[in-house]
Amino acid sequence: MTLPAPPADRLPDGFRVVLDPRTRRRDGGAALLGGSPLRLLRLAPRARALLTGDALTVTDATTAALAARLLDTGLAHPDLPPVDPADVTVVVPVRDRTAELDRLLRALRADLPDTALLVVDDGSADPATTAAVCAASGARVLRHATARGPSAARNVGLAAATTTAVAFVDSDCVPVPGWLGVLAAHLADPRLAVVAPRIVALPADRPGWVGPYEDAVSALDMGPRPAPVAPLTGVSYVPSAALLARRTALGAGFGEDLQVAEDVDLVWRLAAAGWRVRYDPAARVAHQHPARTCAWLRRRAYYGTGAALLAQRHGTAVAPVVMSPWSAVAWGLVLLGGRPGALAAAGVLAGATAKLAPRLGDPPPTGLAATLVVRGSWSAGRTLARSVTRHHWPVVVPLLGSRRVRRLVAAAAVADAAGAWWPHRREVGLLRFAAGRRLEDLAYGAGLWRGALAARGVRALLPARPR
């Protein structure tokens, strides 16, 4: 599906960006280190003079170009006050969930009394009840006689809207007041197509053990830090549970032939067309997460089936392992070569450092190059460990007859669970987290392989090199 190209307009005067707290200045401020993937950005003397502190306000074409560069590399993020979301239509796709729909519409109307609400009933069994719930909140209703899927429902709402922006919100969500004003401020960027809030857990008394784990690391929660959204970055997609979109950027909208991963596909198509997509956790929308283990695992497996469909459309952007050749060689030597292999791996990393250093400056900053190589290798190792227990476990299982393989897999599983748990140690216990992590990965991996078999292609299973 072809999307329109973004306008050539620059960032407007008054647009303010602030350096990410993890961005580091190098060489007395002549370079910035940070972003995702990690990069070193050298500043021209003029740019260095403009960026004297941690913030930059656009005042002309030069500052606009610098601010845009900082945004696109993830070295900085917009710093914008909330605005009045006056020119927005909220589109809600729904099928049957009348209680959840009523809860959502009441919350939207309380927070946004003058905003247009448009509900697309995607073939509900009791359309009269859905219509009555909508009437109580002053929402307009469009109806499909038979279900066509959430993508088609969102697209019908997109086509019916006449406002500058359209907010898509699923019926099992409850936005936190003020969310839309935070997101609408991003529309000051003329190349911004979509901005997404943080999806948090809706407080509820849910039975079962999975709740605390899902609340801590839901697949819909992109974390506490703002970020640009693009393939193969720290935040590679945002879920369609809640999005604010510039109406003219979306063209015909979501891919209606996709019943899963349609949000990822849309984001990646927008990025390929040159639009910006952002994630802003300052805006929050609560979501009713699955309460029972079986439903939760089915959902994870369902998500996994989407990878093969994405691979058909976007190639290596969906690769489960992204690793440079020197990282791959180094880890291969460590895992298979014992102590001599570890020494050889150190030699490989030293060679990579020597090759990288001259590209970073003159004189070559060997210490910085070594830091980047080690960080890259460590990140690659974590990705490889996750792949063993998540994406490629069906290949690993037949090899577990080997004692060495069992020890490596056990070490990968423990290290992966412990590393992922540590940031959430105050929210959920280690044993519960580790059990949830392993079950989630088994379910996702099963769905991934089922999707690959159905698509008769292995592209979603293959590693890739960094771009």
- Tell me the pLDDT tens digit for each residue of 410-462: 999 999 999 999 999 999 999 999 999 999 999 999 999 999 999 999 999 99
Tell me the C-alpha distance between 394 and 306, whole Å: 18
Q: How many CB atoms lie within 10 A of CB 285?
A: 27
For residue 440, which of 287, 301, 319 has the smallest C-alpha distance?
Answer: 301
Start-end ranges of CATH 3.90.550.10 in the chain? 88-291
Position 207 scores a pLDDT of 61
Position 338 scores a pLDDT of 78
Taking the CA atoms of residue 319, residue 325, residue 327 and residue 331 in that order, the dihedral angle to the nearest 10 degrees is 90
* Burial bucket for residue 99 (CB in 10 Å: 0-12, 13-18, 19+): exposed
Position 36 scores a pLDDT of 86
Position 341 scores a pLDDT of 87
Any idea which residue has 């909330």 for tokens?
Answer: 82
Pull the structure tokens for residue 371. Answer: 């830091």
Tell me the C-alpha distance between 324 and 372, whole Å: 12
β-strand pairing of 116-122 with 140-144: parallel
Amino acid at 462: L
Any idea which residue has 């379910």 for tokens?
Answer: 443
Pull the structure tokens for residue 128. Answer: 């009269």
Position 339 scores a pLDDT of 83
Any idea which residue has 């450092």 for tokens?
Answer: 353
Pull the structure tokens for residue 158. Answer: 């997109």
- Please, what is the average pLDDT of the chain? 93
CATH superfamily of 88-291: Spore Coat Polysaccharide Biosynthesis Protein SpsA; Chain A (3.90.550.10)
β-strand pairing of 192-201 with 140-144: unpaired
Residue segments in the chain with a per-residue pLDDT below the cut of 70: 205-207
For residue 1, which of 251, 324, 320, 358 has the smallest C-alpha distance?
Answer: 251
